[in-house]
Amino acid sequence: MPELPEVETVVRTLRPQVQGCRITAVDVLRERSLHPSGLPPETLVGLGIGAVRRRGKLALLELEAPAAACAAAAPDAGQGGPRPSLLAVHLRMTGRFMVHAEGSAPLRHTRIIFHLRRPDGTGAQLFFDDVRAFGLVFIATPELLDGWDFWRSLGPEPLEMRPADLGPRLRGRRAVKALLLDQTVLAGVGNIYADESLFRAGIDPRRPAQSLTAAEAESLCLALQDVLRESIAQCGSSIRDYRDANGDVGAFQNSFFVYGRGGQACRRCGGRLEKHRVAGRGTVICPHCQH
């Protein structure tokens, strides 16, 4: 569920709560929620949280060494190995961030707790909760991050593309929906926004990608950008689990044309929406509006 608009909303709501805080301790309640190639969690202690950004479906928390430690640290001296410079977090389906008061007990699905010290000296706890436990926190240096195939091969940001840029990326005979979901083609699109953008562009998700004309690819790119922007403006879509870092739900699920509406009436033509399986995913299509 957290796709580009939801991760963007998480980042925007998390930023004012954690930027400028210092990490004082980390409790890992589920080891497998850490990316195995990352640095150990102890290396986070003492670092400050700087910029909070998004790339594709990843939330990125930049880390800064405190000024005092900077001055004291000679290269390769004391204190052991490398320091992480960022946290890369993939929420997958049910990952979520919430800031709790100091001393709060873990929740049923809390996987990692970051103990924080705010600039004003008060304490807080950043919970990484994840019901399905597919989410991943990567404690990284730039070098470690670049060693992650998923990161290195991420495609362009859909909202930063020119409409004419999509067409050349839609090569081959795979279903066009499969390409929209492929993070090396575009970064950040998941099942919801693939289905919604294909409906808006009037394109059948099952069509081979290479069969799209340049004009169709361009209208698909514009439709995708529209749907992503509209969703961000409404703080994303909440299907069941998704919440932003304030615990609030999004509203864009009320604007869906097709996602989750199989068997219901098409909002555009009144016909019956069909449910199919495309690229291994549940896919809703209006046979009258999409060709």
Partner DNA sequence: AGCGGGACCTGTGGGC
Partner DNA sequence: TGCCCACAGGTCCCGC
Binding residues (CB under 7 A) for DNA: these are 1, 3, 32, 56-57, 90, 92-94, 108-109, 131-134, 149-150, 171-175, 178, 181, 183, 190-192, 239-240, 259-260, 275, 279-282
Q: How far is the CB of 119 from DNA (least distance, A)?
A: 33
Residue 12 to residues 68, 246, 255, Cα–Cα distance (Å): 29, 10, 22
Whether 171 sits among the annotated catalytic residues: the reply is no
Cα–Cα distance for residue pair 251/279, rounded to 1 Å: 27
Burial of 244 (0-12, 13-18, 19+ CB in 10 A): buried
CB of 32: closest distance to DNA in angstroms? 5
C-beta closer to DNA: residue 116 or 244? 244
C-beta closer to DNA: residue 48 or 56: 56
Q: Which is nearer to DNA, 1 or 21 (CB)?
A: 1
- 157 in Cβ contact with 55 (< 8 Å): yes
* Shortest CB 154 distance to DNA, Å: 9
- Catalytic-role residue among 54, 57, 169, 177: 57
The minimum distance between CB 23 and DNA, in angstroms, equals: 25
CB of 24 to DNA, least distance (A): 28
Three-state SS annotation for 143-186: HHHHCCHHHHCCCCCHHHCCHHHCHHHCCCCCEHHHHHHCCCCC
Give CB contacts under 8 A, 24+ apart, made by 158-162. 158/4, 158/186, 158/187, 158/188, 158/189, 158/221, 158/224, 158/225, 158/228, 159/4, 159/225, 159/228, 159/229, 161/186, 161/221, 161/225
**Residue 93 CB: number of other CB atoms within 10 A?**
17
Minimal distance, residue 246 CB to DNA, in Å: 21
Catalytic residue among 3, 6, 216, 218: 3
Alpha helices in 73-160 (DSSP H): 142-146, 149-152
Q: Which is nearer to DNA, 260 or 287 (CB)?
A: 260
Sign of the torsion formed by the C-alpha atoms of 44, 50, 52 and 53: negative
Q: Using an 8 Å Cβ cutoff, are 23 and 125 in contact?
A: no
Residue 281 falls in the annotated catalytic set: yes
Residue 62 falls in the annotated catalytic set: no
Catalytically annotated residue among 2, 84, 158, 205: 2
Query: Closer CB to DNA, residue 54 or residue 57?
Result: 57
Residue 163: φ, ψ to 5°: -50, -35
160 is known as an active-site residue: no
CB of 150 closer than 8 Å to CB of 159: no
> Looking at beta carbons only, is 47 or 59 nearer to DNA?
59
The catalytic residues are: 2-3, 57, 281
